[in-house]
Amino acid sequence: MKLISQGAEAKIYLIENPRKSAKSAAHLPHNKFISKQRIPKLYRHKDLDNQIRTRRTKSETKILTKAFSVGANVPKVISSDKYNLEIEFIQGDRLSETLNAYPKKKQFQIMQQLGEQVALLHKNNIIHGDLTTSNIILKTATPLGSRRVRDKVAKAQNMRTEGSPSSPPLSPPLFLIDFGLSFISTKTENKAVDLHLIKQALEAKHFQNHQALFQQFLKTYNIKENIERLKTVEKRGRYKH
């Protein structure tokens, strides 16, 4: 067990060679998974702290399960208990660290793919809540024997055939991670704030080309009412850091 990240709410561990008794271990690619363990907060009353950690773990589990069920590229839930969540390990490049180094054509393809993924979440009323390039991974190529990869390839090819000519060519899939702040909402406002977050992330970390990158994102996101509400959010400025 290796600690790979620690935030205010949780410690993230990479588990390699999981025990045979682990749920769904036989279906794990690379024989690895992620364990997200919500840590206690000593400044809170113990009972309240337990309730908060349990509620947030349960909520994240439900949202990841829903996102996965509608075809979004998110880690598959393996198991969860009161405070801990075990999910599929996604091997790949974090966009916050690598997007700027890719050729411009690949950057545009990635942003178009991201637009499709975020649109899929929003059409199913899933709000990510922390939509930055730090929480997006371009997955490393997986052996074609993987059933999940074969299914995604087939689905993507069908979408390309039936979709618009502007759809990006098939490439390694993007995965959205860290749904710790996610929630369910039908409100256009909340979806527009998600858009504002990714736009701000592009401006901050990928400023060399941020306007073109965001336009490529909108090209495939294409939910007009949410894009229109984004303009209102930006004018109001209440979500700016």
Low-confidence ranges of the chain (pLDDT < 70): 18-30, 141-171, 237-241
- Across the beta sheet with 136-139, what order do the strands follow? 92-94, 136-139, 174-176
Conformational region of residue 4, where left means phi above 0, alpha means psi within -120 to 50, and beta covers everything else: alpha
pLDDT of residue 122: 98
- Same-domain status, 7 and 83: yes
Helix segments in 10-163, DSSP class H: 46-69, 95-98, 104-123, 147-162
**96 and 76 fall within a common domain:** no
- Residue 222 gets the label, from left (phi > 0), alpha (psi -120 to 50) or beta, of left
Check whether residue 68 and residue 102 sit in a common domain. Answer: no
pLDDT in the model for residue 31:
77
130 and 151 share a domain? yes
pLDDT at 165: 41
Indicate if 103 and 212 belong to the same structural domain: yes
Task: Give me 184's structure tokens.
Answer: 């369910």
Name the catalytic one among 47, 49, 93, 130.
Answer: 130
For residue 241, tell me if it sits in a domain.
no
Question: For the chain, what is the domain count?
Answer: 2
Alpha carbons 197 and 181: distance in angstroms, whole number: 13
Q: Do residues 78 and 183 both lie within one domain?
A: no
Residues 81 and 149 in one domain: no
Question: Is 48 contained in some domain?
Answer: yes
178 labelled catalytic? no
- Kind plus residue range of the DSSP H or E element containing 6: strand 2-6
pLDDT in tens, 48-83: 999 999 999 999 999 999 999 999 999 999 999 999
Instruction: Report the CATH number that the domain containing residue 186 is assigned in CATH.
Output: 1.10.510.10
Return the pLDDT at 164: 42
Same domain, 29 and 107: no
> How high is the pLDDT of residue 241?
47
Would you state the pLDDT for residue 8?
A: 84
The residue range of the domain holding 159 is 92-236
User: Are residues 55 and 146 both part of a single domain?
Assistant: no
* Tokens encoding 98: 């690598």
CA dist 39 and 53 (Å) reads 8
Return the DSSP state at 17: S
